Chains A and B, each alone.
Chain A
């Protein structure tokens, strides 16, 4: 005799299966396996990034209810949200911290994929879609930073957008399109708002769909060091073993988010004033700090170019290198060169050192 609850569930399952074809998904879930070896830990970072992105979609939608995108009202609407709306501080603080943790998880995910060579054939497109997701996430961060319309964000945006003007020929036009005029004004705010809440989420969801499809299609990449040692000794089923471990990570992330939001709520600072001097201690979000700090060290002129043009072109070249790494560092035969691993380690060291200097170096020296 079947338990009545189980019978109901079976009926619902069969009804859905007839219409959607659930059995196919079940078959995929049953077949999917995750290799177990000493680098398995790195497999969790993509899922962690995905979880934090979902938190961003939820909290972002909630923030839209009170936020007003105009130079006159944006700052005040956030003040109202933080001071008057019940749990307004919590929603905004979680959005703030989940953004930071997501970028952190994304950096770790990206560099682990780079070092473990998970971009090798046939995963070139998985890497490229991931690289675009990385770019979209940085753009999310950059556009979201301006929305509270405070002093720090205002100047960070002035500097950050001015960089576009470096592009030859069309730079000035692109700058005007991005800012909605010659300067950072309320017109910039509405543009960033549209990008942040509509354009980026739509693009990111499509790109994410492609990325996850490709990850599903090719399965988990086994690092060359493990392959050289004879391949992974065992595997674990994705469902439920790996997913349950994922869930533990997500619950931990949620606890960390709640703690950060409660003890270090997001700050608002002073309202932006387009006719005030940039305050000392002006700084971008931490994930742009290494670029910001590098620009401080460049002299006014390098050969016959302006210093910052050289710096920005160097960062652009770095981005292109990362995008095309699957075609530069190719897996040819059994031997593989260590050169690209050392370049990656060099990039990581550069980012860490410049970020550290950004927070510790004397701002006027």
Chain B
């Protein structure tokens, strides 16, 4: 290291020359510094990734209420695993279920009884009772579930 020129004090060029001329020092510094950075960034990056939550593998749920509790032109939110779903009884008495997450930016939709279809309050998105986006910013229909009534139970399952 002794053969490297001394920094000409006060001049920027002198300092840079001095720094760059020390190839060995630079090499050791940059590689070990690089190693240190990788050794810090990698574990921190992994730490920040949330562990895979035991995402509900359930492909069907039984709702905690009976078919009679749903009057025509009304809807209820239910838990499909850890996601919200919405079940509606249409004016003609048919039961239909959809994912309640708006396809725009993920807010939870509601049934607007006055409009007779689903509405998302966040950005004024509208879906008809088939889940089809009919007005506003949502880009695609709500995901549909399959509804089966077994006696007193409503069973909602992922569509085929």
Residues of A within 8 A of B (CB): 155, 158-159, 162-163, 173, 176-177, 179-183, 187, 274-282, 292, 295-296, 298-301, 306-308, 363-365
- Kindly state the separation between the CA atoms of A278 and B122 in the bound complex, as whole angstroms: 7
Q: How far is the CB of B75 from chain A (nearest CB, A)?
A: 9
- Kindly state the separation between the CA atoms of A308 and B106 in the bound complex, as whole angstroms: 12
Pick from B50, B55, B105, B119: contact of A308, CB below 8 A.
Answer: B105
Which chain B residues numbered 107 to 127 have a C-beta less than 8 Å away from chain A? 107-110, 112, 119-124
Q: How far is the CB of A157 from chain B (nearest CB, A)?
A: 10
Residues of B within 8 A of A (CB): 48-50, 53, 55, 77-79, 82-84, 86, 100, 102, 104-110, 112, 119-124, 133, 136-139
* Contact yes or no, B133 A300, CB < 8 A: yes
Q: How far is the CB of B156 from chain A (nearest CB, A)?
A: 14
- Kindly state the separation between the CA atoms of A362 and B113 in the bound complex, as whole angstroms: 18
B110 (CB) vs chain A CBs: closest residue: A277
Chain A residues with CB below 8 A from B123, complex form: 159, 292, 295-296
Pick from B49, B50, B83, B122: contact of A159, CB below 8 A.
Answer: B122
- Kindly state the separation between the CA atoms of A275 and B86 in the bound complex, as whole angstroms: 10
Chain A residues with CB below 8 A from B79, complex form: 275
Contacts A275-B77, A276-B77, A300-B138: A159 and B105 contacting too (C-beta < 8 A)? yes
Most interface-central of A163, A277, A365 (chain B CB within 10 A): A277
- Kindly state the separation between the CA atoms of A295 and B119 in the bound complex, as whole angstroms: 16
Chain A residues with CB below 8 A from B83, complex form: 183
* Contact yes or no, B121 A159, CB < 8 A: no
Most interface-central of A180, A363, A364 (chain B CB within 10 A): A364
5 more A-B residue pairs beyond the given contacts A176-B50, A363-B124, with a C-beta to C-beta distance below 8 A: A155-B107, A183-B83, A295-B137, A300-B138, A364-B124
List 23 A-B pairs, Cβ < 8 Å: A155-B108, A155-B122, A158-B105, A158-B106, A180-B50, A181-B50, A182-B53, A182-B55, A182-B82, A275-B77, A275-B78, A277-B86, A278-B121, A282-B122, A295-B137, A300-B133, A300-B139, A306-B139, A308-B104, A308-B137, A363-B121, A364-B112, A364-B124
